[in-house]
Amino acid sequence: MLMILSQNLASQTNSALLTPTEPDGSVSLELSELLPENVKTHPERFFQVYVNHDHNAHLELAIQGTYSLNGNALSFSPIYPFDLGISYTVKYRSSLATEEFLIQSFIIGENQIVTSPEVLNIYPTGEFLPENLLRFYIYFNNPMEKGYANTFIQLTNAEGDVDSNAFMEFKDELWSANGKRLTLLFDPGRIKQGVSTHSELGPPLLEGNNYKLTISASWQDVYGQKLSVNTIKKIEAVHAYRDKINYNDWTILEPEANSKLPLEIHFDRMMDHALIRSMIRISKKDETSICGFWDFSDHEHSAYFIPEENWVTGDYIITIDRNLEDITGNNLHGLMDTFGKEKTQKSISDLKIPFSIQ
């Protein structure tokens, strides 16, 4: 059935469209008549929300979110909060009796241009990666359309063959809260020795071989914009990490007092950078946390904690969660793959490393 877009908002006599004033708000359509229960099946037939583009005035791809029905009110909340300064358009029906659609735009804060999407980084950043690598982290500058990771991401070998079983498929993909970081998990059954999937298909990465991780240019962000260029990460698989993390081989370099120089931690292997950010805490001796941020170098062999304020003379503690992992899933108290190893492993408490600044 042909649906007509109209900007004649004066005809809106029996409905009220309520638009948000804050990023975490919702769009609500209130009709004078009671909405039928079957609206829950296809709520998008009553209204959808789009992002306006200066270069693309017509409505293409509705942003993703969830609908809720309460009496004669139908509400929409986006998966990710509305962005400040971005112009949105709502296409909606004014009543149940019409198939004609009205449009109304809204903006939260000052107007700004939606930037084109791009891949900012892929972790681990190194090219030489152990064959039992557990995960990739892919960072984007814009929140991406969810549910299509396995469609737009491929792992290929040197001959160009695609490994369609390399990564886990989840009903809900592993995205950060802002939709800008995807955790791409290899199928653990392909990595763990002695498991049937490993025996049948082999590991996704095999020591001595070359691979490419490709992110397709066709993937769209939540604003309907494509990445435009393929992003390719080259990989050479090297010897697997089959031993527990050995923190006794770490080197810690204390910063100078009255400076914002970083506290340096040099590890015995490539570590999971995302878990470092959440599982290593820097505090004073009295447990008062030191605020700051983490940076990395040497392909995540080294981490640098940079404080928000100058270091002061005194005693400090580095508290490391026992579940901190390297890039293959081994942590401080055990191995991800215990094949051929003693399975009863000694549990340890969180690691506390004292240091002083003179």
User: What is the spatial distance between Cα 185 and Cα 132, in angstroms, rounded to a whole number?
Assistant: 12
pLDDT tens digit string along 220-238? 988 888 998 999 999 999 9
Residue finishing a domain among 107, 130, 156: 107
| Paired residues of 123 in beta bridges | 137
Domain shared by 81 and 136, yes or no: no
The whole-chain average pLDDT of the chain stands at: 88
For residue 123, being part of any structural domain is answered with yes
Domain shared by 233 and 251, yes or no: no
Of 61, 87, 25, whose CA–CA distance to 148 is shortest? 61
Domain shared by 139 and 209, yes or no: yes
Residue finishing a domain among 107, 132, 154: 107
State the total domains in the chain: 3
| pTM of the predicted model as reported, rounded to 2 decimal places | 0.79
pLDDT tens digit string along 267-319? 999 999 999 999 999 999 999 999 999 999 999 999 999 999 999 999 999 99
Domain shared by 234 and 129, yes or no: yes
Q: Which domain holds residue 179?
A: 119-238
- How does residue 347 score in pLDDT terms, banded at 50, 70 and 90? low
Residue 239: exposure state from Cβ atoms within 10 A (0-12, 13-18, ≥19): exposed
DSSP string, 238-275: E----S---GGG-EEE---TTS-PPEEEE-SS-B-HHH
Residue finishing a domain among 219, 238, 257: 238
Which CATH number is 311's domain given?
A: 2.60.40.1220
For residue 233, being part of any structural domain is answered with yes
Give the sign of the dihedral formed by CA 114, CA 115, CA 117, CA 123. Answer: negative
The answer to whether 324 and 272 are in contact (CB under 8 A) is yes
Domain shared by 189 and 124, yes or no: yes
**Helix (H) or strand (E) segment spanning residue 354:** strand 351-357
For residue 339, being part of any structural domain is answered with yes
Q: Residue 112: is its pLDDT beyond 80?
A: no
Q: Residue 175: is its pLDDT beyond 90?
A: yes
Domain shared by 150 and 222, yes or no: yes
Q: Residue 5: is its pLDDT beyond 50?
A: no
Domain shared by 58 and 149, yes or no: no
pLDDT tens digit string along 248-267? 999 999 999 999 999 999 99
Which CATH number is 65's domain given?
A: 2.60.40
For residues 29 and 12, the model is more confident at 29
